[in-house]
């Protein structure tokens, strides 16, 4: 791989990472190394440039910063092979700068894995749409679903001696004074209410 190709690839990875960070999703670069039979040490990304997790959905990202040729199905098949090394339910995201052939879309759709094929400008829109559908799908099948409170603040809460206060399922009993409570990204298991 030439230096200019490496720089272009790293630039796209950096831009993808920045897009995720704009929505407070942390992703990390993937680097692997192994020794060949001849004793040479080979380093690479193992088919995934970035890895992350959001709302209990693990995902890997492959970035291809091409200049003219669309992504061919062989690259999607390689990516499917990479996905098969990760835990069941891991989402695959393939980001490119030039688009995909019709056969590439078909390859991804016919895969046993969930794969998003996108470009940088549409990455977050497609990602959040997928996450919202998957979260809704999994929660509709679960009577004890989790809800997420992204941010909440409370100031000066007083609980009387014989009273009970419930905040997001947290029971507070007895005489208590609470000041300046801040909650961020709190997941709470929703209880099924009796009729």
DSSP string, 80-127: HHHHTTSPTT-EEEEEESS-B-HHHHHHHHTSSS-EEEEETTTHHHHH
- Give yes or no for residue 131 having a pLDDT over 70: yes
What pLDDT score was predicted for residue 10? 75
Q: How far is residue 180's CA from residue 86's CA, in Å, rounded to a whole number?
A: 41
What pLDDT score was predicted for residue 56? 87
What pLDDT score was predicted for residue 129? 92
What does DSSP say about strands 170-173 and 164-167: parallel, antiparallel, or unpaired?
antiparallel
Rg (CA), the chain: 22
Mean pLDDT of the chain: 78
- Contact between 102 and 130 under an 8 Å Cβ cutoff? The reply is no
Four-CA torsion 46, 54, 11, 5, nearest 10 degrees: 20
Of 36 and 78, the structure prediction assigns the larger pLDDT to 78
- Contact between 119 and 99 under an 8 Å Cβ cutoff? The reply is yes
pLDDT tens for each residue of 76-120: 999 999 999 888 899 999 999 999 999 999 999 999 999 999 999
Instruction: Grade residue 167 by pLDDT with cuts at 50, 70 and 90.
Output: low
Tell me the mean pLDDT in the region 160-184.
68
Listed ranges 73-77, 143-147, 154-158; the one with the highest mean pLDDT: 73-77
Instruction: Grade residue 125 by pLDDT with cuts at 50, 70 and 90.
Output: very high
Structural domains of the chain in order of their starting residue, each with its CATH number: 3-140 (3.40.1350.10), 146-189 (no CATH)
Q: Based on DSSP, count helices (H) and strands (E) in the chain, helices before strands.
A: 4, 13
Query: Could you tell me which of 168, 164, 62, 149 has the C-alpha nearest to residue 113?
Result: 62
Q: How far is residue 173's CA from residue 162's CA, in Å, rounded to a whole number?
A: 7
């Amino acid at each position: 791989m030439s230096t200019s190709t490496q720089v272009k690839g790293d630039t796209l990875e950096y831009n993808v990472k920045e897009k995720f960070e704009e929505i407070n999703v942390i992703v990390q670069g993937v680097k692997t190394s192994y020794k060949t039979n001849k004793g040479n040490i080979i380093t690479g990304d193992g088919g995934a440039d970035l890895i992350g997790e959001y709302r209990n959905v693990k995902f890997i990202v492959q970035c291809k910063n091409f200049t003219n040729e669309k992504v061919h199905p062989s690259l999607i098949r390689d990516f499917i092979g990479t996905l098969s090394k990760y835990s069941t339910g891991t989402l695959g995201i393939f980001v490119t700068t030039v688009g995909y052939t019709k056969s590439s879309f078909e390859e991804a759709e016919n895969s046993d894995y969930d794969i998003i094929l996108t470009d940088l400008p549409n990455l977050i829109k497609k990602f959040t749409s997928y996450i919202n559908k998957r979260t809704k799908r999994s929660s509709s099948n679960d009577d004890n679903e989790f809800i997420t409170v992204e941010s909440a603040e409370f100031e000066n809460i007083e609980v009387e001696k014989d009273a009970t206060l419930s905040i997001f399922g947290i029971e507070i009993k007895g005489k208590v004074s609470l000041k300046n409570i801040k909650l961020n990204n709190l997941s709470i298991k929703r209880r099924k209410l009796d009729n």
